[in-house]
Structure 1
Amino acid sequence: MQLTLENPDHTYFLRGADGQAALVNDLRLEASFVLSPDRLIEGWAVTDVRGLSLDDLAPLLALEPELIVLGSGASQAFPPPATLAACLSRGVGLETMTNAAAARTFNVLAGEGRRVVAGFVLPG
C-alpha cells in the first residue's frame, strides 16, 4: 500500500483537543476559542454549553458557516433548545459533541472544503 502525505490547504489545523486543552497548529490553548479553517479567535467567553445563548454564538455566526461544530468539553452537553432553533432558522447547522470528537469532525469537514466553524469550551 502506498501512503501519501496530504498537507491541509487551510491556515489552521486542529491537532487534538480534550476537556482541558487543545493544540491548534503548534499553539496550545487552555481557554475556550473559536476556529475556522482560516481564522482563530482566542478568549471566547463561553464556559458551559448548557447556557449558550445566541449572543455567545455571534463570533461564530459572523464567519458565515454552513455548520457549527461545538465542542462541549470532556463530556457531551447540549445548548438550550432556543439556541439550536435560532441557528436552524438562519440555515446553519449546529452539532454538539465532546472536544475530542469535535476536533476530528472539524478537520474532516475543513479538509473537504466545507464552510465549518468550531467553538471549543475549555475550563481556562
Structure 2
Amino acid sequence: MKLQPDKSDAPTLTAHGPGWVAINNEKVTRSVVVGSHGERMDWQCSRFEDLEARHFEQLAGLDAELIIFGSGSRIRFPRPAWLRALIERRTGVETMDTPAACRTYNILASEGRHVVVALLIEDANQG
C-alpha cells in the first residue's frame, strides 16, 4: 500500500467564480495555466473562439502526464487538430467546464500526479 502525504506542495485552486479563479487564494482574472510541479503562466486567450493549435502546443512542452482543459462556463471541446502536439507526445487531455477542471486538478495534484490545468477565464460580462 502506497501512502500519500496529507499536504501537497502543488499550487491549489482555492476558489472560482464568473470571470476569475483563485490560485492559493490569489484572485486571477485572465486565462492561466497551472501545474502541480509549480508551473504557472498566462494563457494568451480570453474567448474559446480565440483558441488555436499554438495554445495547445504550449501545453505539450510541459511534459505533464495529463492536461485538463477548463473550457469556460460551459463545456466546449477543442478541435482535434489543436491537440496534435499533445497526441504526438502521448499526453492525455480531458475537457470540462472550468469549475469541474479546478476540482479535478486539485484532486489529481494532491495525489502527487504531474497534472496541468489550462483554464479559459472569460470576461464575466461576455455573452
TM-score by structure 1 length?
0.83
In the alignment, what sits opposite 2:94?
95
Q: Is the 8 A contact 2:57 2:86 kept in 1?
A: no
Bigger Cα displacement from structure 2, 25-34 vs 59-68:
59-68
Q: How does 1:1-124 map to 2 (within 5 A)?
A: 6-10=6-10, 12-37=11-36, 38-41=38-41, 43-49=42-48, 52-124=51-123
Alpha-carbon distance change, 93 to 51 in structure 1, aligned in 2, over 3 angstroms: farther
How far apart are residue 85 of structure 1 and its match? 4.2
Q: Is the 8 A contact 2:56 2:85 kept in 1?
A: no
Q: Is the 8 A contact 1:70 1:96 kept in 2?
A: yes
Q: Is the 8 A contact 1:48 1:72 kept in 2?
A: no
Q: Is the 8 A contact 1:76 1:97 kept in 2?
A: yes
Q: Is the 8 A contact 1:50 1:79 kept in 2?
A: no
Rounded Cα–Cα distance in structure 2 between residues aligned with 1:51 and 1:94 = 19
The runs of 5 or more residues in structure 2 that have no matched partner are 1-5
Q: Supply the RMSD in Å over aligned alpha carbons.
A: 1.8
Rounded Cα–Cα distance in structure 2 between residues aligned with 1:110 and 1:45 = 23
Rounded Cα–Cα distance in structure 2 between residues aligned with 1:19 and 1:93 = 27
Alpha-carbon distance change, 19 to 91 in structure 1, aligned in 2, over 3 angstroms: farther
Rounded Cα–Cα distance in structure 1 between residues aligned with 2:44 and 2:13 = 20
Letter aligned with residue 14 of structure 1: L
TM-score by structure 2 length?
0.81
Number of residue pairs aligned between Structure 1 and Structure 2: 117
